[in-house]
Amino acid sequence: MKTPVQPAKPKSRYDKWASGALAVMCVLLIAYLARRTGVWAQASPPRKPARSEVANRDRDRERSEELARFDPVVKLGLLRELESRPAPHFNRNPFEYPAPKLPPKPPVVAAEPVVPAAPPAPPIKALGYMEKAGGGREGTITDDADNIYVVHEGQTFADRYKVLKITPTVIEVEDSKTQQTIQLPVPQ
């Protein structure tokens, strides 16, 4: 259900006078601004400078001569000449800057292939080889602590190395820590 719309109250006498006064003030303000900005300005003949303006120019000249007396480095004649010149016209937007010039890129040099470093020499070396009757092979190995091991194929020694193969020229050993196969040449 809609509520009935009540008619607006008629304006009181005070409201009417206040509205009229505001309207008159607005018209006067618009006229004042139009006259000050030159919208209604008419061409007027050039006027003669007043005596006060001539006096101001003389006073300014005396001050500039006084400044030149205290600071001889300031050349006021040149300053006046520069002020009389028209300002230069620039075609660029002062808020847009050109991109900075980057230094040229160094030429690309092909990288040399990385050669893996040779593994360090094993702390063991073969001393000799011996073949027993019946086809058994035996090798002799020493370590840095001058321990001598007599080894057979498949045997583990020094808690680290396992003998894989024994031949008359090479003893092949696997390092259990690095999982690397080491070939120890047998001296002849």
The tens-digit pLDDT sequence of the chain (188 residues) is 566 666 666 678 888 889 999 999 999 999 888 888 776 555 555 565 566 676 777 777 777 677 666 666 777 788 788 888 888 777 878 788 888 888 888 888 877 888 877 767 788 999 999 988 887 889 999 998 889 999 999 999 988 899 999 999 999 999 988 888 999 999 87
Tell me how crowded residue 122 is: count the other CB atoms within 10 A of its CB.
17
- pLDDT computed for residue 6 by the predictor: 67
| Structural domain spans, the chain | 52-87, 124-185
Give the whole-angstrom CA distance, residue 167 versus residue 173: 12
Per-position b or e across 43-74, b if 16+ CB within 10 A of its CB: eeeeeeeeeeeeeeeeeeeeeeeeeeeeeeee
Residue in 140, 160, 137 with CA at minimum distance from that of residue 150: 140
